[in-house]
Amino acid sequence: MISGVLVIFFVLAALAVFGAVSLILQSHPIHSALSLILVMVSLAGLYLLMGAEFIAAVQIIVYGGAVMVLFTFVIMLLNAGVEERTNFSKLATFGGVPLALALGGIIAAAIWRSSGHLPPPAASGAMSSTRELSMLLFSTFVYPFELTSFLILVAILGAIVLAQREN
């Protein structure tokens, strides 16, 4: 018998895969961006399903609300048109599909064999998981955390320097 959770999982997974596929098939960047947003939202749903509420929220706020908005913004700014289907790279044209499939297959097979024994993700209480997260973030991973802030600062400066018109 299929539990409701499983149904939700399959729905979300189907949405995610659909989004990923349409990201490839769509010829217009903005449609690709929309499909990617779909993927992200469904992934956020999966996180909620697993009981990682905080990650889910951050996923939507940062990815959906900031990063992808930036993408769409840039697409609009550059007024990107429909992608032109040039095929200068024979290698990519003929070798692309099998290689990508091979890579995915390897990963999938390895994971399938290695993670069979794991228990299903248990949804621990949201606040508890969030609290645990913050504890780790400020105790064990405090230096990486601070370094990330520094990285972001550098990224901001770099973006400003890159994007400003030289005059």
Partner 1 sequence: MVPTNYYVILSAILFGLGVLAFVFKRNIITIFMAIELMLNAVNLAFVAFSQALGKADGEVFVLFVILVAAAEAAVGLGIIILTARNRRSLNVENVNLLKL
Partner 2 sequence: MSEILAKYGFLIVPIIKVAILVFVVLTLDAYLTWLERKVIAHIQARWGPHRVGPHGLLQPLADGIKFILKEDPMPVGVDKKAYFFAPFLTLMLALTSLAVIPFGPDITIFGYTTNFGIADVNISLLILFAITALGVYGIALAGWGSNNKYSLLGGLRSSAQMISYELALTLSVVGVLLIAGDFSLKHIVEKQAGDMGFLSWNIIGLSKGGGGFTQIIGCICFFLAAIAETNRVPFDLPEAESELVAGYHTEYASMKFAMFFIGEYTSMISVSSLFTILFFGGWLSPFPASWTLTHFLPSIILVPLGLWVFYDGTRYETILGRVILPGLGAVLAALGIALFLFPAANEVIQGPFWFFAKVGAVLFFYIWMRGTLPRFRYDQLMDFGWKFLLPVSIANVVLTSAVIMWRMK
Partner 3 sequence: MPILENLWIIPLLPLLGSAINGLFGAKWSKAIVNSVALGSTGVSFLCAVEAVREFLSGGSQPFRKEFFDWIVAGSFRAGFDLQLDQLTVVMLLVVTGVGFLIHIYSTGYMAHEEGYYRFFSYLNLFMFFMLILVLAANYVLLFVGWEGVGLCSYLLIGLYFLKKSAADAGKKAFIVNRIGDFGFMLGMFLLFRSFGSLDFQTVFAKAATWQPEAMGQFGTMTVACLLLFVGATGKSAQLPLYVWLPDAMEGPTPVSALIHAATMVTAGVYMVARSHVLFTHAPTAMYVVAIVGCATAFFAATIGLVQSDIKKVLAYSTVSQLGYMFLACGVGAFGAGVFHLMTHAFFKALLFLSAGSVIHAMGGEQDMWNMGGLSKKIKVTFVCMLFGTIAIAGFPPFAAFFSKDSILFAAYNSENGGKVLYGVGLLAAVLTSFYMFRLIRLTFYGEKRYDEHKVHVHESPGNMTWPLMILAFLSLTGGWFAAPALWGGKDYFSEFLSPVFGSGESAGAESASLEHILSGVAVAAAFAGLIVALRMYGKTVKRGTSEGVHKLLYNKYYVDELYAAAIVRPLVWLSTNVLWKVVDAGMIDGAVNGVADGAAAVGDTVRHTQSGNTRSYAVWVVVGAIVVLGIVFWPILHPALFGGVR
Task: Tell me: does residue 27 bind partner 3 (CB under 8 A).
Answer: no
Q: Which of 1, 90, 122, 167 binds partner 1 (CB under 8 A)?
A: 122
Contact in structure between 90 and 58 (CB atoms under 8 Å): no
Asked if 46 touches partner 2 (CB under 8 A), the answer is: no
Please give the angle made by the CA atoms of 36, 66 and 44, to the nearest 5 degrees.
50
In the chain, the DSSP E strands lie at none
Q: What angle do CA 50, 148, 136 make, to 5 degrees?
A: 45
Site string for partner 3, 36-75 (x = CB under 8 A): ----------------------------------------
Residues 127-146 within binding reach of partner 1 (CB under 8 A): 129, 132-133, 136-137, 140-141, 144
Q: Tell me the backbone φ, ψ of residue 39, rounded to 5 degrees.
A: -55, -45
Residue closer to partner 3 by CB (options 61, 99) is 99
Report the site for partner 2 in 79-118 (rule: CB under 8 A): none
Question: What residues from 103 to 122 belong to the interface with partner 3 (CB under 8 A)?
Answer: 103, 106-107, 109-110, 113-114, 116
- Residues 153/131/56/144 CA torsion (nearest 10 deg): 30
Distance of CA 166 to the CA centre of its chain: 34
Among 1, 45, 57, 85, binds partner 1 (CB under 8 A): 85
Q: What element of type H or E holds 47?
A: helix 29-50
Does position 120 interact with partner 1 (CB under 8 A)? The reply is yes
> Interface with partner 1 includes 167 (CB under 8 A)?
no
Lookup: tokens for 57? 């929220």
Q: Does 5 sit near partner 3 (CB under 8 A)?
A: no
